């Protein structure tokens, strides 16, 4: 089943590549062994925006597929700055998003100038305008990012309250609405297991939906996942997550009419009289979390925020950044460091004491 998902992602990538110039196809194939198809699809989406902009600005009179290397070689700094302004002001992209798209373009142009070769061993382009363009300076500190995140994640007793809300309270809240109530009754064990597993492990959405039954080690409380960069790793999860998983597995086959050949852990309900159960999609998981989060009174909560919630709690209880980095599958420890800035109660207590009379502070 995992191979089937890979094939589907690869087909999506090929579809968008068919709309882009030949040298983009060559660049993506160069990167195929190093990056996931999802990352490369995002690259192609960014390139499509760039090439469409070139055509819309009359910098090329043909189709985007026919934009030649010579046009890229003659791009000016002013033209690129104009494109970046278009992203920021017309598409309303934030500075980090503009930086990401600029990074994708820099990678492509670097390949064309420094890696790709013509038959007579010359570079595809001799002039690289992207080398002259600097990234936007993002001035947010770790503390600022952490403070923004803090109001959007689960803290304290909210972890268990949200889990119980998914397991029971959502159904009680909608008892008068038969459609919502019955749908919750059908899926509550599955949905609770999903929430519990993310909150008990910090798995990414792509890792969660890719899990097969055989990937779970019930004796060691861990699950085999494929992380970014196509790396295999066994990730530990909590005892509560294990209990919720086992509750779900007792009803999985009968409730969802699952064919024995379907090894996907999380299954969607069959639609229609002849519908077949299938692996739950990423969008389906996002929508169910959005549904529960809104009803819970925390609409900003998302799958990724549940991952952040796990990381925050892990750091508060374990206080071991290298272990947390491995658990989350971060390639850089700097990414993990943000969780050291969330909910710093010791610092807040120290500041509060400054306003107290000395004898009371002591």
Give the C-alpha separation, 29 to 112, whole Å.
Answer: 13
Q: Is 307 one of the catalytic residues?
A: yes
pLDDT digits (tens, 9 = 90+) for 289-317: 999 999 999 888 899 899 888 888 888 78
Q: Please classify residue 362 by burial: count the beta carbons closer than 10 Å to its beta carbon, then call 0-12 exposed, 13-18 middle and 19+ buried.
A: exposed
Q: Is 228 one of the catalytic residues?
A: yes
Give the C-alpha separation, 298 to 165, whole Å.
Answer: 12
pLDDT digits (tens, 9 = 90+) for 24-71: 999 999 998 788 888 899 999 999 999 999 999 999 999 999 999 999
The confidence score (pLDDT) of residue 150 equals 58
Provide the total of helices (H) and of strands (E) in the chain, helices listed first. 18, 5
Q: Is 43 one of the catalytic residues?
A: no
First and final CA of the chain: distance in angstroms?
Answer: 62
State the DSSP H helix or E strand holding residue 225, giving kind and residue range, or none if neither: strand 222-227
pLDDT digits (tens, 9 = 90+) for 204-237: 999 999 999 999 999 999 999 988 878 889 999 9
> Under a CB-based contact definition with an 8 Å cutoff, are residues 205 and 304 in contact?
yes
Give the C-alpha separation, 55 to 109, whole Å.
Answer: 18
The confidence score (pLDDT) of residue 308 equals 87
Determine which one of 106, 263, 298, 304 is catalytic.
Answer: 304
Inform me whether the pLDDT recorded for 320 exceeds 90: no
Q: Is 304 one of the catalytic residues?
A: yes
The confidence score (pLDDT) of residue 272 equals 65
Determine which one of 228, 255, 323, 326 is catalytic.
Answer: 228
Determine which one of 163, 204, 308, 315 is catalytic.
Answer: 204
Average pLDDT value over all residues in the chain: 87
Give the C-alpha separation, 337 to 355, whole Å.
Answer: 30
How distant, in Å, are the alpha carbons of 102, 142, 168, 275 from that of 287? 30, 29, 18, 21
Give the C-alpha separation, 241 to 333, whole Å.
Answer: 26
Q: Is 252 one of the catalytic residues?
A: no
What structural domains does the chain harbor?
2-139 (1.10.150), 145-345 (1.10.443.10)
> Under a CB-based contact definition with an 8 Å cutoff, are residues 113 and 125 in contact?
yes
Residues of the chain above pLDDT 90, percent: 62
Helix 95-110 × helix 22-31 angle, to 10°: 100
Determine which one of 227, 279, 307, 325 is catalytic.
Answer: 307
pLDDT digits (tens, 9 = 90+) for 104-127: 999 999 999 999 999 999 999 999
Give the C-alpha separation, 44 to 93, whole Å.
Answer: 17
> Under a CB-based contact definition with an 8 Å cutoff, are residues 357 and 162 in contact?
no
**Choice between 202 and 154, residue whose per-residue pLDDT is larger:** 202
Q: Is 248 one of the catalytic residues?
A: no
Inform me whether the pLDDT recorded for 258 exceeds 80: yes
Give the C-alpha separation, 87 to 216, whole Å.
Answer: 43
């Amino acid at each position: 089943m995992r191979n089937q998902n890979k094939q589907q992602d690869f087909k999506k990538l090929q579809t968008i590549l068919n709309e882009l110039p030949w040298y983009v196809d060559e660049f993506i194939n160069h990167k195929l062994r190093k990056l996931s198809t999802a990352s490369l699809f995002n690259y192609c989406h960014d390139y499509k925006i760039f090439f469409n902009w070139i055509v819309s600005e009359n910098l090329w009179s043909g189709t985007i597929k026919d934009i030649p290397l010579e046009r890229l070689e003659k791009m000016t700094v002013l033209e690129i700055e104009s494109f970046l302004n278009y992203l920021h002001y017309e598409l309303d992209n934030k500075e980090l998003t503009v930086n990401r798209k600029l990074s994708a373009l820099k990678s492509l142009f670097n390949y064309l100038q420094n890696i790709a070769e013509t038959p007579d061993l010359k570079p595809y382009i001799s002039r690289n305008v992207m080398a002259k363009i600097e990234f936007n300076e993002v001035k947010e500190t770790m503390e600022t990012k952490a403070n923004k995140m803090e109001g959007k994640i689960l803290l304290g007793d909210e972890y268990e309250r949200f889990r119980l809300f998914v397991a029971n309270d959502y159904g009680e809240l909608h008892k008068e609405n038969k459609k919502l109530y019955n749908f919750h009754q059908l899926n509550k064990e599955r949905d609770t297991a999903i929430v519990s597993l993310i909150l008990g492990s910090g798995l990414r959405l792509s890792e969660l939906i890719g899990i097969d039954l055989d990937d779970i080690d019930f004796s060691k409380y861990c699950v085999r996942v494929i992380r970014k960069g196509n790396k295999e790793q066994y990730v530990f999860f909590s005892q509560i997550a294990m209990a919720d998983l086992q509750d779900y597995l007792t009803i999985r086959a009968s409730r969802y009419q699952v064919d024995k050949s379907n090894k996907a852990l999380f299954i969607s309900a069959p639609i229609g009289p002849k519908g077949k159960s299938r692996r739950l999609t990423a969008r389906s998981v996002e929508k169910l979390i959005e549904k529960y989060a809104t009803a819970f009174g925390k609409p900003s909560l998302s799958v990724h925020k549940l991952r952040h919630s796990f990381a925050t709690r892990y750091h508060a209880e374990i206080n071991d950044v290298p272990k947390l980095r491995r658990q989350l599958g971060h390639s850089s420890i700097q990414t993990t460091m943000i969780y050291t800035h969330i909910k710093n109660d010791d610092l807040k207590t120290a500041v509060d004491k400054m306003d107290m009379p000395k004898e009371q502070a002591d």
